[in-house]
Amino acid sequence: MRAATRLAAALALPMLLLAGCEAMPGGAPGAGPAPGPLPPAALAALLPMDAAGFQRGQTLPLAHGEPGQEVAYATRGLPAAAATVQIRAPSGDPVPDGPDSPAAAAAFNRLVQDALRPQPQRRLREVARFLLPETAPALRCAETEGRYGRERVRGLVCAGGQRGNVVSLRLATPQSEPPPADPRAFAAAIVTALRRP
């Protein structure tokens, strides 16, 4: 009888330790079940007041009556960087998390085309593509650089599925030393906020 009790305890101990690790606060992101879909307004409410030095500004509905929200961000001081985060509701089924769904890919392609389309005062070129964060990609991003008028600028555009919606962001910053902001850190902070349960 004692041997059976010890065997049961020995088998149960690793399971209890493993369960304790999963329940510990501050554990690895993504260790538990993924958060479920949210409407755009509820997802926008998760966006932080400060993201990598960018201060949150106004929240507005998307233009042209599209279902969704747009949140403005900007750095303080001069030179300043500006960004927008758009959360667009799906037209059909919820959009899967990550950058690979057709809806996320289409949003990313539109962002890149818009950024690279020549304007009278703007000339940009794409310099890099990457996924953020690298370990569990949520966004596909493209970095740009060029000129806006006489000002040399850098930009970042990203898109991906998050909690049933398409999330996209645009960021523009003057090229200066030191730079007014870290675009990749901003995008990573947005992803972290939107993945909160």
Beginning with the edge strand found earlier in the chain, give each strand of the sheet holding 54-61 in spatial order: 50-51, 54-61, 68-75, 82-88, 165-174, 151-162, 139-148, 122-132
Four-way CATH pick for 34-194: 1.20.1300, 3.40.50, 3.40.1000, 3.30.160: 3.40.1000
Q: What distance in Å separates the CA atoms of residue 151 and residue 7, rounded to the nearest whole number? A: 72
Contact 121, 149 (CB under 8 A): yes
Question: What residues does each domain of the chain span?
Answer: 34-194
Q: Count CB atoms within 10 A of the CB of residue 31.
A: 10
Q: What distance in Å separates the CA atoms of residue 93 and residue 111, rounded to the nearest whole number? A: 22
Lookup: tokens for 188: 């990573």
Q: What distance in Å separates the CA atoms of residue 85 and residue 157, rounded to the nearest whole number? A: 10
Which residue matches tokens 């030179």? 79
Q: Shortest CA distance to 191 belongs to which of 132, 128, 103, 104?
A: 132
Note the pLDDT of residue 18.
Answer: 31
Query: pLDDT tens string for the chain (197 positions)?
Result: 433 333 333 333 333 233 333 333 333 343 334 578 899 999 999 999 999 999 999 999 999 889 999 999 999 988 899 999 999 999 889 999 999 999 999 999 999 999 999 898 899 999 999 999 988 889 999 999 999 889 999 999 999 999 999 999 999 999 988 888 999 999 999 999 999 88
Note the pLDDT of residue 154.
Answer: 94
